[in-house]
Amino acid sequence: MKILVLLLMLTTCAADYQDLSGKMFTFPQEGNKAYVRLNTSKQNFKAVTVCHRSFTDLERDHSIFSLATPKISNDFLIFYGYSRNGILPSIRNHGLKYGRLDYKPNMWHSICTTWDSGSGLMQLWFNGQPLTTKYISAGEISGRPIIILGQEQDSYGGKFDTAQSFVGRMTDVHMWDYVLSACEIQKYMDEENFTPGNVLNWASLDFQIVDRVLIESKQMTCCKKSAPCSAKENIGLI
């Protein structure tokens, strides 16, 4: 009986990792209830790199990646500010603006964000282009993180605002506990073989879906016989 109980406990606690290669999360509806929670056992971060691809037609503010800890709701946040025309990352409640980006609607955008706690420096990569390195905040992220796609956490694990919710598609989410090299980031941007995230890995992801979020296959562009695609276009997402 004791062995059976132990096996049941181990089964309950075991992480359910899924390979989402070739898949994407679709957030089809505005609201403050639908989201995806990404799970990790990692608790303290002296450095972070987060990469993801997203597709939306929203003409308002929206959250892309939200990491909160018990003491700080915006410990690592990637947010698009529509009125400010830029991506607004936050570290430990300190924010920056990367403006004048070609963040067109109904197009896929690949974004990588790096941060080092020792120097306090952050750098954003947008669609293959490295942007200016800026100081944002020093000091490590500590505490058990809650990582959310689709909503911004205004409190630890909750207090979502419909006006900041994400509507669209998201794929290829990876997170590392170090600053990824420029070469590896470029490989990610070009959809070549790269070192997968050691905190979050899209090909081995532990997650929970809450409310209306779908898992769908990536949609591929089709090429006309009269206008053949290049190899790059043939693997492009739409």
**DSSP string covering 31-94:** SSS-EEEE--S---BSEEEEEEEEE----S-EEEEEEE-SS-TTSEEEEEETTTTEE--EETTE
Strand partners, 141: 45
Asked whether residue 63 is assigned to any structural domain, the reply reads yes
Tokens of 220: 């591929």
- Average pLDDT of the residues of the chain: 89
Asked whether residue 106 is assigned to any structural domain, the reply reads yes
Asked whether residue 125 is assigned to any structural domain, the reply reads yes
- Report the predicted TM-score, pTM, of the whole model to 2 decimal places: 0.88
Residue of 51 and 237 predicted with greater confidence: 51
Tens digits of residue pLDDT in 86-137: 999 999 999 999 999 999 999 999 999 999 999 999 999 999 999 999 999 9
Asked whether residue 237 is assigned to any structural domain, the reply reads no
Give the per-residue pLDDT at 221.
Answer: 65
Asked whether residue 9 is assigned to any structural domain, the reply reads no
Tens digits of residue pLDDT in 175-205: 999 999 999 999 999 999 999 999 999 999 9
Give the per-residue pLDDT at 16.
Answer: 84
Give the per-residue pLDDT at 226.
Answer: 54
For the chain, what is the domain count? 1
Asked whether residue 31 is assigned to any structural domain, the reply reads yes
Q: How many CB atoms neighbour CB 132 within 10 A?
A: 9
Domain harbouring 46, CATH code: 2.60.120.200
Asked whether residue 3 is assigned to any structural domain, the reply reads no
Q: Which of the four pLDDT bands, split at 50, 70 and 90, describes residue 219?
A: confident
Domain that holds residue 200: 23-215
Q: How many CB atoms neighbour CB 99 within 10 A?
A: 13
Asked whether residue 16 is assigned to any structural domain, the reply reads no
